[in-house]
Amino acid sequence: MTVASLIFILLGAVATIGAVMTVFARDVTRMAIGLGTFLVAVAGFFVYWGATFLGVAQLFVYVGGVLVLVLFAIMLVHRNPEGSPHLETRHDVSALAVAGGLFIMVVMALRDDVPASVDQGISSGPQELAEAFLGPMLTHFEIGGVLLLAVLVAVVVIVGGEER
């Protein structure tokens, strides 16, 4: 086992711990801490793959911006004196199926291509990144945009659901 793969496994472990904490923590601030841990680990992955710009941008935008806003919102929201509300979902089985399916897809896709070395020819600087996004990767970029739009619509549906 090389140092590089050790770092990779360590980052993976940190990301997993963060993700598990985000989902299972009882306290909403703990969830935010879990999310922060996960986001930092993702930034670490970007740096690991040589995409330094992306990693630092991830830190700046998500950890330094979005996460701070999340914590800010949590602190401004009135704390319920009767304890946290009971969170449950009607879709736990289907959610588990989707998550399991995605996990199997990722494992299948990476099975023969376990990250062995850091240098995979991924663009590092901002210029290469811009060229890739507006050139060969344009379709992927747009699909990512559509996914984010879908997430936004989903948020509106979930939040608006209570009022109907």
Binding site for other proteins (CB under 8 A): 3, 27, 29-30, 33, 36, 40, 52-53, 56-57, 59-60, 63-65, 67-69, 71-72, 75-76, 124-126
64 vs 144 by CB, closer to other proteins: 64
Phi, psi for 90 (deg, rounded to 5): -85, -10
Write down the least CB distance from residue 23 to other proteins, Å: 18
Q: Quickly count helices (H) and strands (E) in the chain.
A: 7, 0
SS (H, E, C) 120-132: CCCCCCHHHHHHH
57 vs 137 by CB, closer to other proteins: 57
Q: Which residues contact 152 (CB under 8 A, 6 or more apart)?
A: none
Write down the least CB distance from residue 159 to other proteins, Å: 23
Q: Classify residue 140 by burial, with Cβ atoms within 10 Å: 0-12, 13-18, 19+.
A: exposed
Q: Which residues contact 45 (CB under 8 A, 6 or more apart)?
A: 11, 15, 55
Write down the least CB distance from residue 44 to other proteins, Å: 13
Write down the least CB distance from residue 36 to other proteins, Å: 6
24 vs 60 by CB, closer to other proteins: 60
65 vs 101 by CB, closer to other proteins: 65
